[in-house]
Amino acid sequence: MGIELNALHWIYLVFIFIIIAVMVMKRDTSLVCILGIFLLGIFATASLYQSVAGVFNSFIYAIKELLGTILIISIIAAMSKVLLETEINEVMVSPFTKLIKTPGLAYWVIGILMMVISWFFWPSPAVALLGAVLLPVALNVKLPAMGVAVAMNLFGHGIALSGDFIIQGAPKLTADGAGIPVGDVVSASVPLVFVMGIVTTVAAFWLLRKDMKKGVLSTDNALLQNTAQTKAEKTESPLLSKAAKRLLAFMILILYLADIIVMYMAKLQGGDATALIGGTSIFILIVVSMLSHKDKGMEKIMAYLIEGLQFGFKIFGPVIPIAAFFYLGDSAMGAIFGDVLPKGSNGLVNDLGVALANLVPLNEAVGALTLTAVGAITGLDGSGFSGISLAGSIAKLFATAIGAGAATLTALGQIAAIWVGGGTLIPWAVIPAAAICGVDPFELARRNIKPVVIGLAVTTIVAIFLI
């Protein structure tokens, strides 16, 4: 038997439903989360000033928890900017252009390359690093620009971001929401990420080939001419010589391979793995900036870092209020408002999960279907990240009720949220890939719907058997 639920539990539960409803209406949840934190503070402390202060302190708590993730994304974005400006990205991907001989090879080579680079650079910077170089090559072998955009979307913003195995920004958020180690979420997500990835990309390729044969999609000659002209108009005085670009591209590859080896040998996970990638990226940024900008290198390092930090906080700014609310469901309640939970409580979410188990007999199928639905709903704002703390909290609630499957349910909610909102189905989230490929973002989102829905259905069934 669990403890008796009090007002704090019911307020927390009511606000979970309100947050879901607001997400369904495609409205921002920040105000709702702040009101939820304030009301929890009022009922916990019976003090107006402590409740007001609690809102601010909960934000500080969330930022402290997320700071490592925000910083790694910012550093990666800063490093990506200097690689783009120095055209080292072109050298890094140029060997793969020789593999692109047919439309089919173009789809799979671009997709797999996008996935691998997104694991290290994150998808938004990876789109910029790859798109301008590989789009003309794909168009030359008659893969339509829409096909390139689909491949970059599904492999980068879909497979790579939903797993986020290297940087571990997504697993950090969901694991914190569920109150379990990041490593557990990463391990549980591996089979689900690859089932979702294989089903979705194969379905998308089949539909793409079908439309190409019908003549629905064709290579845009105007776009091909435009990309060729853009490449021809590039500056004639590059920041680095060809030899320097090759050397630096090789150095970057070796450094990241070394990181992977060290992570495996030293069994680094979570924050330790992130720190290694982040530190390596900082040194790459420093070396490339100093070599390419000479006497202005020191100033350019800070300029790139500032630009990266702007990108990082723009991505994670909407996450902070909702994360602040959901951290209260576990460890943050005591840290912010003191010892206010009933004796024997294991946190608001755990207590609710035990109560749910006693009230309604749940099973693996109901849990998996619920997490897929909740994850998809949280992705409707087009962020992919803003609601995955909610997915983690609900995964914990259902896992407590079922008695198993916390990591699998958490990973499933994360995958559904990011595939829907992270840059494959929401028109304003697919803009980076659509813009660089010169296609309509609404049409790109429509084209992704069937493959993603099929993938989510299959992945949910697999998750049921893994719980």
How many angstroms separate the CA atoms of 68 and 172, rounded?
10
CA of residue 111 relative to chain centroid, distance: 17
- Per-residue model confidence (pLDDT) at position 357: 66
Is residue 410 included in any domain, yes or no?
A: yes
Judge whether 421 and 384 are in contact, CB under 8 Å: yes
- Per-residue model confidence (pLDDT) at position 219: 55
Is residue 42 included in any domain, yes or no?
A: yes
* Cβ atoms < 10 Å from Cβ of 71: 17
- Per-residue model confidence (pLDDT) at position 241: 85
Is residue 279 included in any domain, yes or no?
A: yes
- Per-residue model confidence (pLDDT) at position 226: 53
Is residue 288 included in any domain, yes or no?
A: yes
The tens place of each residue's pLDDT in the chain, 467 residues long, gives 456 788 888 998 899 889 888 877 877 888 999 999 999 999 988 899 999 999 999 999 988 888 888 888 899 889 989 998 888 988 888 888 888 989 999 999 999 999 999 998 888 888 888 887 888 889 888 899 999 999 999 999 999 999 988 888 889 889 988 889 988 999 999 999 999 999 999 999 999 999 888 876 755 555 555 554 445 445 455 678 888 899 999 999 999 999 989 988 888 777 788 889 889 999 999 999 999 988 888 899 999 999 999 988 887 888 888 888 888 887 678 888 888 777 777 778 777 777 776 776 678 888 899 889 888 887 776 667 777 888 888 888 888 888 888 899 999 999 998 998 887 888 767 888 888 888 888 889 889 999 999 999 999 999 999 98
3-state secondary structure string across the chain: CCCCCCHHHHHHHHHHHHHHHHHHCCCCCHHHHHHHHHHHHHHHHCCHHHHHHHHHHHHHHHHHHHHHHHHHHHHHHHHHHHHHHCCHHHHHHHHHHCCCCCHHHHHHHHHHHHHHHHHHHCHHHHHHHHHHHHHHHHHHCCCCHHHHHHHHHHHHHHHHHHHCCCCCHHHHHHHHHHCCCHHHHHHHHHHHHHHHHHHHHHHHHHHHHHHHHHCCCCCCHHHHHHHHHHHHCCCCCCCCCHHHHHHHHHHHHHHHHHHHHHHHHCCCCHHHHHHHHHHHHHHHHHHHHHHHHHHHHHHHHHHHHHHHHHHHHHHHCCHHHHHHHHHCCCCHHHHHHCCCCCCCCCCHHHHHHHHHHHHCCCCHHHHHHHHHHHHHHHHHHCCCCCCHHHHHHHHHHHHHHHCCCHHHHHHHHHHHHHHHHCCCCCHHHCHHHHHHHCCCHHHHHHHHHHHHHHHHHHHHHHHHHHC
Is residue 289 included in any domain, yes or no?
A: yes
How many angstroms separate the CA atoms of 422 and 375, rounded?
11
Is residue 302 included in any domain, yes or no?
A: yes
How many angstroms separate the CA atoms of 172 and 164, rounded?
10
- Per-residue model confidence (pLDDT) at position 230: 47
Nearest residue to 456 via CA among 374, 393, 364, 385 = 374
- Per-residue model confidence (pLDDT) at position 1: 46
Report the number of distinct structural domains present in the chain. Answer: 1
Residue range of the domain that includes 114: 7-466
Is residue 1 included in any domain, yes or no?
A: no
In tens, the pLDDT along 389-401 reads 888 888 888 888 8
Angle at 168 between CA 319 and CA 23, to 5 degrees: 30
Is residue 195 included in any domain, yes or no?
A: yes
